[in-house]
Amino acid sequence: MAKSDQIAFIIRHASGNADPGDIAQYFHSQSEAVVQEAYQRLLQVERQRIIDADAETQKLKQQAAAQVAETAQALKDYRWVALCAHNFGGKSVANVISNRQIIEGWAQDKQVSPALLQSILDSNPQIKLAWVKFESPQVQRQHSAEQEERTKQVLLDICRRYNYSFSDANISIVLQAFPEGCDAYQLEQAIVSNQVHLHGADWAEIEQHTKDLVKAHNKKWAAKSVSELKQQSAQERSEREAIFSRVAPEPTRPVGITPLPAALTKEVLLEKLNAADRSAINIWKTRYGMDAINARLQGVC
């Protein structure tokens, strides 16, 4: 681009209240290198202004910034978990919010690492952190597997007593709802408060649940003496009647209900019932009716 054209561009896009004639006179007296530098600087500013004025470009920039922030936070969380897994002389930093706030406050903008934390603690003995006994990754995995198995046993007991299905879908729901494990009371409360939705067992599984309950009941009293059994006879009779009262005739196919498509299995319905977005359930209720959905969940249609 000729020098005169560059000067004309500078005059059109110059900021401030300078007179165009003065601008032209000044740059005509300057070398081509000076004019070129001023031209390139204003050209970059104009390009950025055009980009900033474009709504779609701004949207993409915001999305990119959000992704960068999310990645940075994920990396920060990863480093925190790694710090909590470090062995500090037979103990580890407890993975609690108070510890993280204290450590990140002392570290300020520095990347938290075991070496940095040890340095901070050595220099500031007044810092009080919560500690736990160090466990190797292998021991942690073993404890996690043991905790998961205990949670499954709690669920199995609830399924037997309340006729829920001990299915992979129900197991997955409970493990996700209680990653740290739960007892029978906690699970019962979650079910009653609709925090956890479990689908019911079919007839065959109900029969098996009942047999398992009877077997466990009989085993419980097998080692008792005759006198003890007599003392508990009334209670045994009541418990046994309560167990068998749960056994009802096998449900028949509801009349007048059109079955749901085969693709809408119990697991699919249960997943959507537990999802934050229930739009799919609402669509199916409108299209097929709630009776059809309940029948599929109960295994009778």
Q: pLDDT grade, residue 254 (50/70/90)? A: low
Q: Write down the pLDDT at residue 241.
A: 65
Give 194's contacts (C-beta < 8 A, 6+ positions apart). Answer: none
Among residues 296, 222, 232, the alpha carbon closest in space to that of 258 is found at: 296
pLDDT at 152 over 90: yes
Residue spans per domain, the chain: 3-53, 66-133, 141-201, 203-250, 252-301
247 contacts 207 by C-beta, under 8 angstroms: yes
User: CA 239, CA 298: separation in Å to the nearest integer?
Assistant: 25
Give 232's contacts (C-beta < 8 A, 6+ positions apart). Answer: 221, 224
Mean pLDDT to the nearest integer, 69-85:
89
149 contacts 175 by C-beta, under 8 angstroms: no
By percentage, how much of the chain surpasses pLDDT 90?
Answer: 22
Q: Write down the pLDDT at residue 135.
A: 81
pLDDT at 245 over 60: no
Helices (H) then strands (E): counts for the chain: 15, 2
Mean pLDDT to the nearest integer, 253-258:
65
User: CA 23, CA 45: separation in Å to the nearest integer?
Assistant: 18
Q: pLDDT grade, residue 251 (50/70/90)? A: low
Burial zone of 236 (CB within 10 Å; 0-12 exposed, 13-18 middle, 19+ buried):
middle
Q: Write down the pLDDT at residue 187.
A: 93
Query: How many other C-beta atoms lie within 10 A of the C-beta of residue 154?
Result: 20
Bridge partners (DSSP) of residue 92 are 132
Q: pLDDT grade, residue 141 (50/70/90)? A: confident
Q: Write down the pLDDT at residue 126.
A: 92
Q: pLDDT grade, residue 237 (50/70/90)? A: low
Provide the 3-class DSSP secondary structure of residue 198: coil
pLDDT at 132 over 50: yes
User: CA 223, CA 40: separation in Å to the nearest integer?
Assistant: 95
Among residues 2, 4, 6, the alpha carbon closest in space to that of 41 is found at: 6
Sheet strands (E) in the chain: 91-93, 131-133
pLDDT at 209 over 90: no
pLDDT at 247 over 90: no
Q: pLDDT grade, residue 271 (50/70/90)? A: confident
Lowest mean pLDDT segment, chosen from 85-89, 225-229, 246-250: 246-250
Query: How many other C-beta atoms lie within 10 A of the C-beta of residue 93?
Result: 22
99 contacts 83 by C-beta, under 8 angstroms: no
pLDDT at 112 over 80: yes
Q: Write down the pLDDT at residue 38.
A: 87
User: CA 226, CA 230: separation in Å to the nearest integer?
Assistant: 6
Cα Rg, the chain, nearest whole Å: 35
What mean pLDDT, rounded, does the chain reach? 83
Bridge partners (DSSP) of residue 91 are 133
138 contacts 169 by C-beta, under 8 angstroms: no
β-pairing verdict for 91-93 and 131-133: antiparallel
| Look-up of token digits 């209670």 | 235
pTM over the 0.85 mark: no
**Tokens at residue 262, please?**
């085969």
Each residue's pLDDT tens digit, 2-60: 888 888 888 887 777 778 888 888 888 888 888 888 888 888 888 887 777 777 777 88
Instruction: Write phi, then psi, for 93 (nearest 5 degrees).
Output: -70, 130
Q: pLDDT grade, residue 240 (50/70/90)? A: low
**Tokens at residue 41, please?**
């600087």
**DSSP-based helix, strand, coil % in the chain, nearest 5:** 65, 5, 30
pLDDT at 248 over 50: no
Higher pLDDT, 7 or 130: 130
Q: Write down the pLDDT at residue 253.
A: 58
